[in-house]
Chain A
Amino acid sequence: MQFSGRRRKLAVHSQNDLYSHCLQLYVQPPLENISLSEFETFAVERLKLLKTVENLGVSYVKTTEQYTKKLHAEISNLNFPHKAEVDEASFTKSQVGPSEYEKRRKDHISHFILRLAYCQTEDLRRWFIQQEMDLFRHRFNDLSSKYKTEFLHKNNLKYDTLSADEKMNLKDQLINSTFGFSGITIVEQDFYKVPFQDALDLIRTRKVFLRGGYAYIPHQDIVTIVLNDFRTRLSKALALTARSLPAVQSDERLQPLLNHLSHAYVGQDYSIQKNIGKISLEQIDPLSAKSFPLCMRQLHKSLRENHHLRHGGRMQYGLFLKGIGLTLEQALQFWRSEFIRGKVDADKFDKAYAYSIRHMFGKEGKRTDYTPYSCMKVILSNPPSQGDYHGCPFRHSDPELLKQKLQSYKLSPSGIVQILELVKGMHYQLACQKYFELTHNIEDAGFSLNHPNQYFMESQRLLGGVKEIKKEVEVPQKVQENSVTNGTSVSRQPNTTQAMEEMGDLDSYFADE
């Protein structure tokens, strides 16, 4: 092996083992010194990558060619490692731009830096883990079979394989439970017996054969197992990191950067109500038709019709109402007056339902002030079942029923067709944006929808709003990075440090959607 070593001859030699595979589970933290500027660049670039991962994940199905191509391009552009077939020559060969080794090193270091920024709250952790997993999944799937096996061995994931006899006995079941397998391929590929607790994603969607508590997983699907392992490790690691964070935060050079990084991506969560008490209960009916997104309009309508909503619906709608400015007293009155019209008497309401409303406002139990659900949350968690009206109508409603409903709301036929196309392509938030455009009679919504309360605010802004609601343009503390066209600028906090100003306009990295 010839090392032409320009800058770091010795370093490459000894650290060759460290980055011997383009993919890693980020077990060992990096042990070297780096400059502050490299620290910052690495972090920002990885954040950009993760943001792309998130956006692509919403706009495309993860297994489609469009998704993989776009993600691939971004990884390449930002100089992260993406190809496993790195021959030794190109490993150190001087090429335009960073070498493979340098890319892997950047991957390693930037991941650990972002852990520092994203370990602090449950929401941040969840976001970080989700994007890192999606990124990992894409990169792992990109590997050839040989490198996949190599990865498994290097990382100690050893599961029993089925013997040839066992496979023959279970041939039919394996064929019927595992996608893309025929009699021949069953014989050729290895099947692993993995305890079902380690293969939850495959079990949940019934993509593998399950017997006696073991999932029978073909070699090609082993990524899901690896991902579970990845998620568990990362989750634990983040919890540990959070505990040692105070030490890190005391370093003045790092603190502003880390803060800014973690705030840049949560977006506005509508938990700080600017308009508390500015909406009256009588306004809710007309507002539901004018300014509510379809999901909330649906919930409101079924509440009025049935004088009841089940738990999922109460949570989704109740928190939304809190977000648009209802006070606790108003909320109690609102729900109470509606439920009384149904089968619930005043007494029962006070005993059973009032508690949960106060809970929503942070006045009971853990006293957590719950935040209204974002679109992601509504689309991805707690799907509705029989008797439920919550969820995202673009995601959870039968297309036929959705069409009828939109027709009943007097939307134009061509508009409805467009919406249904978007729904078919699984672009639920874009479909809702289209709904916004059609109901407000405009060409372009001018914002990227990701929260029902955002829908309401934008609608009110457009319609001139109820007089008492002040227009909220500046965003306290948090960069509204999803506000598109004019690149909302960050409002300066009074305690902004020198360092932050020196960092330059970080937001220009992000406000380009």
Chain B
Amino acid sequence: MSNSDYDPACLPDLLPLYYRRLFPFSQYYRWLSYGGVTKNYFQNREFSFTLKDDIYVRYQSFSTQNELEKEMQKMNPYKIDIGAVYSHRPSQHNTVKSGTFQALEKELVFDIDMTDYDDVRSCCSAADICSKCWTLMTIAIRILDRALREDFGFQHLLWVYSGRRGVHCWVCDEAARKLSVAARSAVAEYLSLVKGGEETVKKVVLSDPIHPFISQSLSVVEHYFLQYAIVGQELLSSKEGVDKVLNLLPEDILCDLLLHYQSEKNPTKRWERLKTLVHQKRATSKKGGQYFDKEIMLQYCYPRLDVNVSKGVNHLLKSPFSVHPKTGKRIIIVIEVYFIFHNIDIYIFLITLFLICEELDKPRPDEEEEDDTKDKENEIEAGERRKIRVYKASFTYFKRTSLAKYIKLFDQFLDSVARSRKGDMLKKSDLQKDF
């Protein structure tokens, strides 16, 4: 996937435009204040910026939305990270008595990175992704989204495309934000099935009984496996691919398959044969738990999380709507799970800074007319009219760009968080008999 039109040198010119016209500050502030229920929640939040020439600054914090805007417009960060909500304002952490400056809360986050799948994908490697291996992200999102909602009871999940090679999930429920390090690590481990480093060949081992979480994850993987892995990734088409798969099987099945594959070249049929043999073995075996076929599917498709990202309360993660400073200057955008379920092509997510700045420049002839008629109808004073037009214009700049629908998604997300919060507060006041 090439981005040859994009010259890294133009970043310094485009960023100011982005931060003045397009970055959705009010939504951003709305998100991170969480309704202002907890005092100083926004003020005690740590941000970190990566500036020009790789200068990295931590412990940035802001008192108001306005201050955030002004600072960002001044500094024009190449990258923005969001950290934890601390006990004091991060910008003042040096003045606080040592030991008392602590990270208190943060969203529960997950980072799925395509490079962690390098040993099981053949179409790309490292930072490259294509619509073939993007299926891995689709699978990951479906499995994790279901588990976080149904098993853990979380409701407010913000999925974002991380700009280059993966996705992030921000779990914003109050209960999630308050989780301890131990709890976060337990959640991440519950969700982990692929274990082992370079030295481990077989990374998934299943035994009886199969936990409902695993069964449900398996059904998602099974839905995609044939098309994605056997056809798309050509798992059983080349000798190399076959060898890797066979390495995960016991001796007897392996030998049978090698023989069989000498005559059978059709990969789908090869997979069928593999499954048949495994099922036979399971049926006739005295010991339980012989799920080699399922283990293979999981090893090639199941989401690979970086537990360390999820564990730390003070871990800094790239912010939504930040620009990804490397190739393509893409914007970290919110993705709707709906899109994932309907397999919309990955290209739709590649909103680049260049693109939206271009879109901004394009004139919209019908817009001005519309405003004039409305104003006449309302008989507003000229000065007022102009003020309103400027306000409206700045407010709707991003609407002209491809960023619009993603900001809308973000708005919808924030609305549902707010509704939930209201519901909770009503419940609480009912319990306390405050009428």
Contact = CB atoms under 8 A, between A and B. Distances in A.
Interface stretch (A29-37, A52-60, A333-341, A397-405): A397-405
A177 B197 contact: no
B252 to A, nearest CB: 17
Given A203-B190, A385-B116, A398-B202, A210 B152 contact: yes
B304 to A, nearest CB: 7
Contact of B201 (A387, A390, A400): A400
Interface string A98-125: 0000000000000000000000000000
Of the candidates A175, A203, A351, the one having the most CB atoms from chain B within 10 angstroms of its own CB is: A203
A211 B304 contact: no
Given A173-B212, A177-B211, A387 B190 contact: no
Contacts of B189: 204-205
A213 interface: yes
Nearest to A197: B183
A446 interface: no
A474 interface: no
Interface string B359-379: 000000000000000000000
Interface in B109-163: 115-119, 150-154
A389 interface: yes
Q: Kindly state the interface size class of chain A when it binds its partner.
A: 35 or more
Given A197-B183, A396-B199, A176 B210 contact: yes
Contacts of A209: 212
B198 interface: yes
B185 interface: yes
A175 B209 contact: yes
Nearest to A173: B212
Contacts of B182: 200
A497 B185 CA distance: 46
B215 A176 contact: yes
Nearest to B175: A213
A206 B211 contact: yes
Interface string B155-199: 000000000000000000001000110110111011000111111
Interface in B64-113: none
Of the candidates A200, A387, A396, the one having the most CB atoms from chain B within 10 angstroms of its own CB is: A200
Contact of A385 (B151, B195, B201): B195
Given A176-B211, A385-B304, A398-B201, A214 B196 contact: no
A388 B119 CA distance: 13
A130 interface: no
Of the candidates B117, B183, B198, the one having the most CB atoms from chain A within 10 angstroms of its own CB is: B198
B213 interface: yes
B54 interface: yes
Contacts of B153: 211-214
A386 interface: yes
A384 interface: yes
A350 to B, nearest CB: 11
A142 to B, nearest CB: 26
B423 to A, nearest CB: 16
Interface residues of B, number: 42
Given A384-B196, A401-B199, A200 B183 contact: yes
Given A200-B186, A214-B153, A176 B209 contact: yes
A211 B150 contact: yes
A348 to B, nearest CB: 9
B201 A401 contact: yes
Contacts of A383: 195
A387 B150 CA distance: 31
A302 interface: yes
B200 interface: yes
Contacts of A212: 150-153
Contacts of A173: 212
A332 B347 CA distance: 43
Interface in B404-427: none
Contacts of A323: none
Contacts of A176: 209-212, 215
A96 to B, nearest CB: 45
B116 A387 contact: yes
Contact of A396 (B183, B190, B200, B211): B200
B187 A388 contact: no
Contacts of B307: 385
B150 A203 contact: no
B179 A204 contact: no
Contact of B209 (A177, A203, A387, A390): A177
Nearest to A298: B199
Contacts of B194: 385-386
Given A200-B183, A213-B175, A401 B200 contact: yes
Interface string B282-326: 000000000000000000000010111000000000000000000
Nearest to A347: B54
A345 B150 CA distance: 46
A293 interface: no
B197 A384 contact: yes
Interface string A157-199: 0000000000000000101110100000000000000001100
A179 B214 CA distance: 15
A179 to B, nearest CB: 7
A282 to B, nearest CB: 27
Contacts of B212: 173, 176-177, 209
A460 B70 CA distance: 61
A311 B215 CA distance: 33
Contacts of A298: 199
Contacts of B195: 383, 385
B388 to A, nearest CB: 46
B200 A210 contact: no
A204 B203 CA distance: 18
A452 interface: no
Interface in A293-327: 298, 302, 311
A390 B308 CA distance: 14
Interface in B210-258: 210-215
Contacts of B210: 176
Given A200-B183, A214-B153, A206 B213 contact: yes
A291 to B, nearest CB: 22
Nearest to A174: B212
Nearest to A231: B182
A210 B198 contact: no
Given A175-B209, A204-B185, A384-B197, A210 B151 contact: yes
Interface string A370-388: 0000000000001111111
17 contacts: A176-B215, A200-B183, A204-B185, A206-B211, A211-B150, A302-B198, A384-B197, A385-B194, A385-B196, A385-B197, A386-B117, A386-B194, A386-B304, A387-B118, A389-B199, A396-B197, A401-B200
Given A200-B186, A205-B189, A212-B150, 17 more contacts: A173-B212, A175-B209, A177-B211, A179-B209, A197-B175, A200-B182, A209-B212, A210-B190, A213-B154, A213-B175, A311-B308, A385-B194, A386-B304, A387-B115, A387-B197, A389-B198, A396-B196
